[in-house]
Chains A and B, each alone.
Chain A
Amino acid sequence: MPAVSKGDGMRGLAVFISDIRNFNFRNKLSADNDSLWKVFSRCLSTLGSRTVAKGKSKEAEIKRINKELANIRSKFKGDKALDGYSKKKYVCKLLFIFLLGHDIDFGHMEAVNLLSSNRYTEKQIGYLFISVLVNSNSELIRLINNAIKNDLASRNPTFMGLALHCIANVGSREMAEAFAGEIPKILVAGDTMDSVKQSAALCLLRLYRTSPDLVPMGDWTSRVVHLLNDQHLGVVTAATSLITTLAQKNPEEFKTSVSLAVSRLSRIVTSASTDLQDYTYYFVPAPWLSVKLLRLLQCYPPPEDPAVRGRLTECLETVLNKAQEPPKSKKVQHSNAKNAVLFEAISLIIHHDSEPNLLVRACNQLGQFLQHRETNLRYLALESMCTLASSEFSHEAVKTHIETVINALKTERDVSVRQRAVDLLYAMCDRSNAQQIVAEMLSYLETADYSIREEIVLKVAILAEKYAVDYTWYVDTILNLIRIAGDYVSEEVWYRVIQIVINRDDVQGYAAKTVFEALQAPACHENLVKVGGYILGEFGNLIAGDPRSSPLIQFNLLHSKFHLCSVPTRALLLSTYIKFVNLFPEVKATIQDVLRSDSQLRNADVELQQRAVEYLRLSTVASTDILATVLEEMPPFPERESSILAKLKKKKGPNTVTDLEEAKRERSADVNGGPEPAPASAASTPSPSADLLGLGATPPAPAGPPPSSGGLLVDVFSDSPSAVAPLAPGSEDNFARFVCKNNGVLFENQLLQIGLKSEFRQNLGRMFIFYGNKTSTQFLSFTPTLICSDDLQTNLSLQTKPVDPTVDGGAQVQQVVNIECVSDFTEAPVLNIQFRYGGTFQNVSVKLPITLNKFFQPTEMASQDFFQRWKQLSSPQQEVQNIFKAKHPMDTEITKAKIIGFGSALLEDVDPNPANFVGAGIIHTRTTQIGCLLRLEPNLQAQMYRLTLRTSKEAVSRRLCALLSEQF
């Protein structure tokens, strides 16, 4: 190793840094102690003593930096041309200043100039500056790309290396455009140096990650796969990463990598610890490469070729065996590297999920780690066991460790380890141990860290529901949750307990009694008041026979909490009171007095005031019969995916980095086979929201019937739909709801639920129709038929297979419809379902939401382009306009979401009036593509919209306009 002359390269730089550091570095570097630890410690003490004058030194630093920036700026602007060395020095200073956290807005040009220097170090600093301070300034990018191109063509491996590093570091789309075609050639050329190959492989990987569409597949791919056989382990290491990512997207094309990876892996794991020389790390042969190869194999199912499969099994066994051997070194690096390979091997075993023997061995190994003295290993074992718990082969084996895991929950000192223990308990829970696990989680909750309480609450609620044999246990558990961690019990949890109590009449009396008892506590959580209020309002009559819980006592108990509660809870309690008026005529007068009091009738809150006024009036004018009808017990809630589960998925799912659409799709991808995605955004999902009667659906509707489907008032006071057309009532509305979304419940009555899940790409689509039998009786001769008019048939091609004519009670059958848009169309197909249920013939028709806009592909364009095209489509046949009244509150974000859901791109900053919405897209049919532009102009004052569609085809403009107008 040549002595490094620290700072000598650029003395000015060192002086500058030294100034900033404010102490003389030369005295601190004389240490020749071998141990990292000791030297670091020494620096530490120096640094520690400096923090005293922090505020002052910060000021001094800024002053010094501003001085330096001024100096550099004048040098760059000066008349005298700077030589390469000075340029390098100043660029490096700028970089240092930037890395200190200050903004740099000049020097880019000088850095770009350095790129074309023939001196290696100047070039190197230039590239470093570009890599760190990427600026998508298009003119500079062109210059940078030019310099890179020259270096790539130079055939000088060090220059090529720098250029490749720069591309890999920046990885922008512009660079992908310029180099994605060139790099594969460098990668597979016979005369490329190994180090350049390594950089080229990872550089290409970075470009593929940013812009997969710009990396052309071709002949080179098969040659890349053979790099797995390369002599040079560094080349194999780099190439494996590239191949893994490519194989994920193109598994067919890279299938041969499986056998090559297995044989490479086999050679590594069976090699002696010294065979691989510098690629052996603390006596572990090529741990990084091993991990990468095992990762590559996780892109594929178990190998089909028995020989390859056998060899792989041997490898995995060897890795498991090695874990039992005594360590070759006491260093933590040795055990970490060895275990890194072991954990990746276990991941592969779990991924394959096909070898019971290996799965159980893996589980036993992890079981040992659960009690290891290294915290890291305990953490990883808990994490890895979570996935193992979901395999049918190893679920039982995982369960044997329950006591250790519970113990971890109680004794681990690190919250992140305890969190893993909670996850594992959740994963290993089944009917046999649910009571124990829920009890342990509840007791842990009493002292759990605030950061993980909400998640534990959700998990307990889910497990209690999922494994409840006895629903009294479920009710007790949820009330315990509220008692222990009321603040962390979200709406979803208490909604759910109410849904379940309403749907199960065997638990209603118990629930009423239990909430009544729980409400006796002098200080009970507001969530308990909500649940208690709701349940007593529905089922208070079931315990009213006991003189200790007479109607008046129930009422007084609830009302004693009233004044301490928030507005939504008080609103809920008012609904409970009016329900009491119906349930218990004997307390009617008392309740009317309460409603009549000034604090209710003149309450400053409009919602409370309105409820008090309406309920008082209702209780006065309505006959007993009408009261009984209006205030009837809530009907059962439709069964769907638990909203708590959806919430947990949302909480744990990807949220920050991946894009939202992806996350949404994943969330709706169903866990329990339920067709309905998380109801978070669907306003029409029935939920026992705070208002019993649906009067206060958000946003509060001051007059007119509320949109909530649970509201019985609607049915009593409005004209109920009497004329039942061939289409089921509500079919049109449901149809309209699907114009801007693809998944959800299309139809539901007492017997049958129809759910949809569909996806569209260009002019093709696929729709999954789920028919759920909600009863416990079989449906016979179950025949769904798709009906298209002649006209529609020529424009829309639908293909499907008949479904099984018998649908068991509680079962769900699925039908797939393949869709092709041949030409633009206006009508929608009708789905007719006929079946026999308990001797009666059932016949249901609904409109199937396959609409023209499903074949939209969004198109992004700039303002200028938009208006140019807009003008081109100005003939009267091309434009269709509709002016209409808003049917929903005019909310900007909702409107945006609808336009995007409609399928067109939402173009921001295009319309000169920022209140307007502008969209563009292309409708794909088999034969043509029709460009569409749309503009939606809201008028808030008038509560009106003007929607304008311009497309090259009149019928398309008209249809899209009609579809979209219904959405606002």
Chain B
Amino acid sequence: GRAQPRPRPAAAMQFMLLFSRQGKLRLQKWYVPLSDKEKKKITRELVQTVLARKPKMCSFLEWRDLKIVYKRYASLYFCCAIEDQDNELITLEIIHRYVELLDKYFGSVCELDIIFNFEKAYFILDEFLLGGEVQETSKKNVLKAIEQADLLQEEAETPRSVLEEIGLT
């Protein structure tokens, strides 16, 4: 008889990189433990590879033993590495959903928002993806979590800056 099909190992996203058309890294998120040196090497290689591709080419490529899924939004490239068994199209939509989340939060996001508020970009990403897996796909739920944090921030900081300025602390 034929062999029983072997289970296909589940895989997570390995990392996500955001970089500009000039090759400047704007955000990096690693879901696998790698040394700083390795991260830099991977980033350098990938940025080069992706930037060399022409606009109409397909959004997927094989790279080492990983699959790269990338998409360009204006000046920024969003680039994810997934494993062999992973679903490319759904990864492409992970990217898009993340862009939508940033856009909704910042109100027409642009590259500068991500530069100046990199910590927010990270917080939003953590609510959406955790450990390389999709945690919450509802835009409302993700943004609710971030808004709550922002409210906490304002409560915490509004009084203090006043007090600080008049030297009462």
Contacts and interface: CB of A to CB of B under 8 A. Distances in A.
B58 A417 contact: yes
A552 interface: no
Given A32-B108, A40-B73, A416-B60, A158 B149 contact: yes
A234 B120 CA distance: 21
Contacts of A209: 12, 131
A288 B10 contact: no
Nearest to B144: A195
| Chain A residues touching B, majority SS | helix
Contacts of A376: 58-60, 88-89, 92
Interface residues of A, number: 116
Contact of B8 (A7, A17, A158, A298): A298
A336 B92 contact: yes
B74 A299 contact: no
A31 interface: yes
| Chain B residues touching A, majority SS | mixed
B110 interface: yes
Given A7-B117, A44-B75, A158-B148, A416 B58 contact: yes
A414 interface: yes
Nearest to A161: B145
Contacts of B87: 291, 295, 340, 343-344
Nearest to A380: B88
Interface stretch (A196-204, A218-226, A565-573, A883-891): A196-204
Given A6-B113, A279-B138, A375 B108 contact: no
Given A4-B107, A417-B58, A40 B131 contact: no
A379 B60 contact: yes
A510 interface: no
Contacts of A300: 7
Contact of A413 (B33, B57, B108): B57
Interface residues of B, number: 92
B21 A44 contact: yes
Contacts of B118: 95-96, 99
Interface stretch (A653-661, A744-752, A834-842, A860-868): A653-661
A241 B65 CA distance: 22
Given A41-B75, A657-B65, A245 B152 contact: no
Given A47-B20, A120-B153, A281-B93, A299 B8 contact: yes
Contacts of A1: 104-105, 107, 143, 147
A38 to B, nearest CB: 8
A643 interface: no
Contact of A287 (B93, B110, B136): B93
Contacts of B148: 158
Given A119-B156, A171-B33, A657-B66, A21 B130 contact: no
B49 to A, nearest CB: 11
B20 A416 contact: no
B61 interface: yes
Contacts of A301: 4-5
Interface in B31-76: 31-33, 36, 40, 54, 56-62, 64-66, 73-76
B101 to A, nearest CB: 11
Looking at B7, B135, B140, B141, the one whose CB has the most chain A CB atoms below 10 A away is B135
A125 interface: yes
Given A1-B107, A199-B130, A657-B64, A379 B10 contact: no
B119 A125 contact: yes
Contacts of A298: 7-8
Interface of A: 1-2, 4, 6-7, 9, 14, 17-18, 21, 25, 28-29, 31-44, 47-48, 51, 83, 85, 92, 95-96, 99, 101, 103, 119-121, 124-125, 128, 131-132, 158, 161, 164-165, 168-169, 171-172, 195, 198-199, 202-203, 205-206, 209-210, 233-234, 237-238, 241, 244-245, 247-248, 251, 277-279, 281, 286-289, 291-292, 295-296, 298-301, 333, 336-337, 339-340, 343-344, 347, 351-353, 375-376, 378-380, 413-414, 416-417, 419, 653-658
24 contacts: A2-B151, A18-B116, A29-B113, A31-B108, A41-B74, A47-B22, A83-B169, A85-B164, A96-B118, A121-B149, A121-B156, A168-B130, A210-B33, A233-B137, A234-B135, A245-B10, A248-B9, A279-B138, A287-B93, A288-B134, A289-B137, A340-B88, A375-B57, A653-B65
Interface of B: 2, 4-5, 7-10, 12, 14, 20-22, 25, 27-28, 31-33, 36, 40, 54, 56-62, 64-66, 73-76, 85, 87-90, 92-94, 96-97, 99, 103-113, 115-120, 122-123, 126, 130-141, 143, 145, 147-153, 156-157, 160, 164, 169
Given A85-B157, A101-B25, 11 more contacts: A1-B107, A25-B116, A28-B110, A28-B112, A43-B75, A203-B131, A241-B12, A295-B10, A295-B87, A375-B58, A658-B65
In the complex, the 9 A-B pairs of residues with the closest C-beta atoms, listed nearest first? A40-B74, A44-B75, A340-B89, A206-B131, A340-B90, A278-B138, A120-B152, A375-B58, A202-B130
